[in-house]
Every structure is written in structure tokens, then in C-alpha cells.
Structure 1
Amino acid sequence: MRIQALPAQLINQIAAGEVVERPASVIKELVENSLDAGATRIDVDIEQGGGKLIRVRDNGGGIHPEDLRLALSRHATSKIASLEELERVSSMGFRGEALPSISSVSRLSIASRATGQEGGWSVSSDGGDQFVDPVPSAHPQGTTVEVRDLFYNTPARRKFMRTEKTEFGHIETQLKRLALSRFDVSFSLSHNRKEVFTLPLASQILEQERRLAGLLGASFLEQVIHLDWDQAGLALRGWVARPVFSRSQADMQYFYVNGRMVRDKLVTHAVRQAFQDVLFHGRHPAYVLYLDLDPLQVDVNVHPAKHEVRFRDGRMVHGFIYSTLHKLLAETRPGQEIDRSTGEIRQVEVDQRTVPLAAVPPAYQRPLGFQVQERHASYQPSFDMQHPSPMPPVTEGEAAADEVPPLGFALAQLKGIYILAENASGLVLVDMHAAHERITYERFKRALLEGGVSRQPLLVPVSVSVSSREADLAEVQQPLFGELGMEVDRIGAETLVVRAIPVLLQGADAEKLLRDILSDIVVHGSSERIRDEINQVLATMACHGSVRANRRLTIEEMNALLRDMERTERSDQCNHGRPTWVQLDLTRLDKLFLRGQ
């Protein structure tokens, strides 16, 4: 077959295969156009899961009547006009492909009234490459786009559409993502003439959190931490759920780059690394995060659907996201309050001078008849580290209510497993093994950080065959390997030799470790592989070195454990992601006994 130019309609239908995957894709493109037009209200009406009708109405700047026909032409856009504008594009759309692609596989009509115009105009298309001239149409300022009979002229594509319920589920999810990207815009969605949700403008943080609760559930908001941090031209803000709110699947992860929803491997890896110490294996964190940076530092022109981005300095972005979230999660400890007016975390100051109101068990507390299953001497060194420093005695009358520490004071031990304590809010239940495990683990990490990573020379160095690119990379990254406690030399064009590994990883597969680190450096510009392996060893040591069930503690030991929890990073969860303590306030206790009803 000779080379020939394709018809315009076929070109648009080919492009539609990349841009218009299903009705939810149409919603995404049309709503993003409305956002770019400066709309503050967007109404979406759906019939039969989007297969019969998709209508998007906004109050934006509108389309000039002379541009209506051009809007349906391929590669026609008002967003950019030069390469310089493309490199720093900040609008959602810019390729000029959405409307012509949609019009090529549906019956599309556009009615619009531009700012400053006395009346509106409309234009329509029936899937062909011929467009009728715009005609006058009564319309308020803004634009309404109607898409009817999607894929009616491409039966093969229509066969791949799912049930009405499934397609509408994708539409609802897509509109939620868009609604979370712009709190300064109100959204409404109706299906088959029934209202699904209406989201008003949310300029204040309390209003934004109401939108979060409406879209993601009240339970998400109850466990959320707000952050707002900027550094070196990068800004990260949004909400992160505490680790106890982890999910079995990654269905509640929303990440936006300059207001654009993206699914980026580098971002996902940075977030996962930050949560590594506080989540069960196989669990996923929940978050709504916004990364803002100079448009010149990110390329959004990677894929027609614009789901992917490419950062000019991926290592810097990865490090910024990881360090910010890592620091935030390190502060998850008892004694925190979230100011709902600002969303900020306030740390309640713990008065270190405060001592238990009763240094001995109260008169009604009798010893429980459980047998000690481990030798006391095995755990004595651990508890010697926990004993509080000598303090002057304080009488009960001198200890004011506002001096009570966040976890309060120990009352008793239950079944040799839980510590019961009383604080200003009510009753606190502490899993003593989980709590002690986190305390011991963080101490091990801190001691290792202060002393550095000790290395162990290998009796027989391990030779590893790699590519020339990896060998070059290993030579450049010699300082990094030194910090990680490894000694790696190049002995050939495509050969490396491992001469030493960290002491704590003695017996590990040196070749596999080296290959994994090189892979991380190639993809992410850095590697946490050694640290992760060492932390696993430390976590095992902490687990075996922590107090076990049925270990009877004195009141002094219990209070020492509570005070350590208040000073230890990430003490809300153990090393495996389990919660270490639970608060039962008086309101909740009253409900159990029907008090006040």
C-alpha cells in the first residue's frame, strides 16, 4: 500500500483511543476545560452511566462565537501559543485534542456565551468532519457541553463499555478527584435526574475538611493530619491519615502536582518509604496531598491523558516528599491536638516534673494471680533504662489537672497484657508489648544513627557482573556506599567487587544487596535499601527484647513506660503498624452504662 494522508475524522478517532477511554475520560476533559475557563461552579448531569448523555455546565469565561468552530478542530487551543509557554504551562489542558476527539465518537453540541457578549451561540457535530456554522442560542455566561450517544459510530469501542452502574462509579470517582483539586469551585453531580452530591465552595479549612468528609468519609477526617511545608521552591500541603487508618488497597491516595491529579511512580515510592516503619505489610496509606513547584521543573506533556509527569530533578522531589512525611509521622505520639480551625498539630507540653499521684498501688488494687513466664533478670536491664529520674515528692493536692501527662498515670495491669491508666479525658488502655517494642526500636535506631553504620569486611570478597552503566554509577556513588556501610570497588569494565557490608547484615546476600541498591539509584537517584534491611534487623531485636505478655510490672515501671511513650517518635504504632494505645473518654464510657440517657 502506498503512503497516504489519513482523513481528519479517522485521525480524530485514533486520538480518541488515547484520550477517550470511557465516559469518565470525557468528564475529566470537559471539567478541566471548565476549570481552565475560570469557572467557580460546575454542574455535571449524567444519563445511563454516560452512555446516553453527559452534560457539563459552567459559569466560566465562555467561548467567543468566532472560536466555536475552531474549538472542534484538532490542535486548536487557547492555552499556549509557543514552546516557551508549553514548557511552563499551568493549565489543565493544552494539547487541543479533547473536543475534536470527543466529537469524533459522539454527537456533541457546545453552547456558550463569552464574557462581554450580549447573547450566546451554539455549534454541533454528529461525529463527522463537517461542522455547521454557529447559531444564536439563549445561554447565560459560561459554557454547556452535551455529549450524546458516546461511541455510537464505533461499535467495537462501545462493546467494551461496562454496565451502567460500573461506568457511573468511574465517573463519580473521577469527579471526586477533580473536586479535591479545586476547593474554590463548587461541584454538583446528578445521575438519571437524581442528585448524587453537591459540593459548595470551600475557602476556609473547616469547609475544606467538610468536603473531605463528604467525599472520603468522616472516619478519614477523624484520623487525618494536616501539613503545609515549603522548602527550596517546593511546597507540600494537604492531609495525611494516621497509620492506624491504613487501607487494604491503594484506593484513597490522591496526589496533585500544580493542581493536576497524577499517578507517578516516584511520588508513590517516596510516600511508601515514609510510611514503611508504621504500616503492616501489604497495607496502604491514605492521603490527599498537593505538591506545588515551578512549572519549569516538571514536564506534563508526557502522555495524552496527562496522568503522568516527569520531574527535571526527580531526586530532589523524592527527597523532599519523603523527608516531609517522615518528619510528620515521627511526631505521631501521645499528647497531640489538631486545631480544626487551621488544621495544624499542636503538641501538648508534658510537665516532666509531674509524678504519679500515687507511687504505690492503691488500697483496692490486689495482686493478680498470674504466673511469671519469663525470668525477671532477663528484662531488668531494659527497665533500668526506663526508670524515671529521682524527683521531689508531689502531693495529690499539688498536682493540678492541667499537669496530668497525656497518657495519665497507671492504675493497674490487665491480664499481664494491658496497662490501665487514667488521664484528664478518662481511661487509657496501653498494649505494653507493642509500646515497649516501639520504644526499644527507636532507641536502637537513634544509637545506630549517632554511632554510624559499622562495616564488616568479607572473608571472601564477592564479585558481581554488572552493565558498564551500573559500574560507572557505582564509581560515582562511592561516598554513598561508604555512608551505607558497604565497600564496593570496580575491578573491570563490567565487574564490581563487594569487600564489606554492614555488621548488622552479616550473612546477607551481598550480590543481591548491591544489585538492589544500584536499581534504586538508577530509578530514584538514591537508595534506602541498606537502611530498610538494617531496620528489619533492629525491629526483630526490639521485638525479642521487649517485655512479653504476663510480665508483671510495678506501678513505677508502668508509669515509666507511659512517660517514654510520650517522648518517643511514632509511639502511636508498634513496628508492625498496630496501635499501641486507645483512649476511652468519659463520654464513651457513659454511653456504655447509659448514663445521662
Structure 2
Amino acid sequence: MKQLPAETVRLLSSSQVITSVVSVVKELIENSLDANATSIDVKLENYGFDKIEVRDNGDGIKAADVPVMAVKHYTSKISCPEDLECLTTYGFRGEALGSICCIAEVLITTKTAADDFSTQYILDSSGHVTSQKPSHLGQGTSVTALKLFKNLPVRKQFYSTSKKCKEELKKIQDLLMAYGIIKPELRIIFTHNKAVIWQKTRVSDHRMSFLSVLGTAVMGSMVPFQHHCEDPEVFLSGFLPKPESDNSLTSLSNSERSFIFINSRPVHQKEILKLVRQYNNLKSHKDSSRSYPVFFINIAVPASSVDVNLIPDKTQVLLHNKSFQWISLYGLSLQYAKGLPKIKWTNLLVGSKAYSKWF
């Protein structure tokens, strides 16, 4: 047996972190949000395979951090294992920029409030700075990735069809919508080949952000809800379809408008989605098992109760205390009970002993 060369190890791990154009955009967007950005521009050329650029107006990168800003496992967000129990940032592993450098050509332009001017840095495949020059960018950071998957021809070939490329654009738009909803103060513009695909302006609250994403007709069919439990501490809020709502407005054939967040992080939570779909089926009085309701739910729990380090894209999380999930589902079931016979809404939770303690 032989030890793998460092370059091969970097490529293997990087191709697991960065799997597609949308994964690049997601990592860069989360870096921007962690840097307190309120304005983000996402620009693609040739569906992102020629160029991906994410520009923000955030804090910028300090000069002292520049030499290691894209070197793997360097991060300003955690410093010890205990920090994982109190995460307040989207990113924390120090892998994203380093992984992108392995599979693309990367340029970073950045300026902090203390800098007199911005500087553009060119990085090598290991994330180290190879050259730099003054630039004209205002405060914030712009990350540009060129020739994505240049050294992974099979993966690039996978996205070579027009259908796959358009699906990737749609996934990016859906991702940006999620962040646009959970961050009302965030302005986003998404362009492809210089044509605007989607945009959102800054708004005042979650209702206005949900309205800006869904439109007036759909929002008119939604009802706000809140549920709070003190022990353990769980707070639910969001918007669900009204019992009398028009299914053509509040249901889709897929889950792309079923927005679930845990501590403002967009996640895939099967139990929550299943319960909402069951409710939607009951209130519509017909079999809608193939449809997915439009809704927005944010579940706020103590940071120490969530493990987000399950998979590279952090879209699946574990709640340390199962009670958090039970209470979340119970709180939702109470909301769904409005307008439904008791025997029906209690049946939503039948079949799972985990929830029996609440009845």
C-alpha cells in the first residue's frame, strides 16, 4: 500500500464537498451571509461552468487572514470541538473555498472597512495566493470560479445536456429563494449570461419576504402561525395554507416551495414535510398524496441541540433531543387542528409512539 499524494487527497475530498454548480453557489452565499452581507449578486456564464461570481457587501476579509483564507481547515468560525455546540454561522468547517480551488480557477477580490482599496488575489489549487493586484471593488468580497470541474471531465460531462443545465439553474433559483425568505433584509440578484433570472429587494419582515417570493395570490391563501414551548425551548413560526385555500395555488407536484428551516438554516426534514402533506390531504378532502403544499416553517431551538455536521452540504441535521422534533410536530398539529374534526387531526400523529406522550 502507498500513501496517496496530497493533490489527489485534496481532489477526492473536494469533489465530495463541491458536487455541482449549485453547491458552489450555496457555499459562497453562506460565506457572504456569515460576513453580514445585505446585498448579494450571483452571476453565471454558461450555466456556471465557464464562470461563477458571487459578490457581496459584507465585512470583507482581513489582511491578516488573506494568506490562509482558502486553505483547507482554516476558519474564523470555530476553534475547538466545543464551538460546534454553539454555532451561529452557516459555515464552520473551513472546506468550501479550498475545495473550489481544487476543481476551478479562483480569484478573490476583497475590501474591509479599514482598507483604503480592494485587492484581487489569484489562488492556486491548494488555496494559496499566487499573485495580487489593486482593484476597484467597494467594501465586501467577490469570489470568482472559472472553468468549474476542469479536472473532473466525467462530472462536467454529466451536466453537458441542456436539460441538466436548466435544472441546475432552477435549483440555484430555489436555493436563493430560500435565503431570500429567511433573510428579509437581504437583496439578491441572480443573472445568467447577463440576463436577470430572479431578484429580490430588501423587505421588512418574513411576511414580506415570503410575499416577494410567492406573489400576492399565493400569499393571500396563507395563514401565519406561531407555537412556543419552554421546556425544552422550541419556537415555531411561519405560514401554512388556509383550510379553504385553492389547491392550485397552494400545492405543487414537488417540494420546491416547501420551505423548512432550523435556526434559519434551510434543511430537508422528512417528518415535518410528511406531516404538512398529511394535513394538506385532510383539509382538501381528497387524495393529494402526490402533491406538496406551499409553506414556510422556521424552527428555532438552542444551538447546542442541533448537529449540522452530518453531510457536506449541511441540508440534513440531527436534533440531539428527540423531544425537539416531537414538540415541533405537535405544535404544527395544533395549528392544523383549526377547522378539522378532532378525530382527523389526532390521526395525523397516529402510528408513531414518539408523539403519544403529547395526548
Range class of TM-score, shorter chain: 0.7 to 0.9
In structure 2, what residue type is equivalent to 1:292? A
- Aligned-pair RMSD on alpha carbons? 2.5
The Cα shift of 1:74 comes to 0.7
Residues 121 and 133, structure 2, Cα contact 8 Å, conserved in 1: yes
Tell whether the 8 Å contact from 1:270 to 1:321 is kept in structure 2 after alignment: no
Aligned to 2:258: 253
Question: 1:235: which partner in 2?
Answer: 235
**Structure 2 counterpart of 1:309, from 300, 314, 317:** 317
Match runs of 1:147-546 below 5 Å:
147-161=145-159, 162-163=161-162, 164-204=165-205, 208-209=207-208, 211-232=209-230, 233-243=233-243, 244=247, 245-272=250-277, 274-275=279-280, 277-279=282-284, 280-281=286-287, 282=289, 283-314=291-322, 316-332=323-339, 442=341, 445=343, 520-521=352-353, 525-526=354-355
Q: Aligned letter for 2:329?
A: Y
Q: Figure out how many residues of one structure are paired with residues of the other and give that number.
A: 341
Verify the 8 A CA contact 1:189 1:196 in the aligned structure 2: yes
Q: SS at 1:31's partner residue?
A: helix
TM-score, reference length from structure 2 = 0.87
Q: Are the counterparts in 2 of residues 275 and 326 from structure 1 also a CA contact under 8 Å?
A: no
- Greater Rg over alpha carbons, structure: 1
Whether contact under 8 Å (1:273, 1:322) holds in the other structure is no
Please give the alpha-carbon distance, in whole angstroms, between the structure 1 residues aligned to 2:16 and 2:212.
Answer: 32
Q: Which runs of 4+ in 1 moved over 6 A?
A: none
Which residue does 1:588 correspond to in 2? none
Q: CA deviation at 1:136?
A: 3.2
Give the drift of 1:5: 4.4
- Whole-angstrom CA distance in 2 between matches of 1:128 and 1:247: 43
Q: Which residue of 2 aligns with 1:56?
A: 54
Q: Deviations over 1:448-479 (max 9, x none)?
A: x9xxxxxxxxxxxxxxxxxxxxxxxxxxxxxx
**In the TM superposition, what whole-angstrom CA distance separates every residue of 1:366-395 from its partner, at most 9, and x where no partner exists?**
xxxxxxxxxxxxxxxxxxxxxxxxxxxxxx
1:43-96: CA deviation from partner (whole Å, max 9, x where unpaired): 111111111111111111100123223011111111111112111111000011
Residue segments in structure 1 that go unaligned for 5+ positions in a row: 333-437, 450-483, 485-516, 532-597
Q: Deviation per CA, 1:521-571, whole angstroms, max 9, x where unpaired?
A: 4xxx3469xx9xxxxxxxxxxxxxxxxxxxxxxxxxxxxxxxxxxxxxxxx
Shift of 1:165: 2.5
3-state SS of paired residue (2:103): coil
Q: Does 1:90 align with 2:88?
A: yes
Larger RCO, structures 1/2 (Cα 8 Å, 6+ apart): 2
Contact 2:200 2:213 (C-alpha < 8 Å) held by counterparts:
no
The answer to whether the 8 A contact 2:184-2:205 is kept is: no
What is the alpha-carbon distance in structure 2 between the residues aligned to residue 221 and residue 143 of structure 1? 34
Q: Residue 6 of structure 1 aligns with which residue?
A: 5
1:124 deviation in Å? 1.5
How far apart, in 1, do the equivalents of 2:271 and 2:131 lie? 47
Provide TM-score, normalisation by structure 1: 0.54
Unaligned runs of 5+ in 2: none
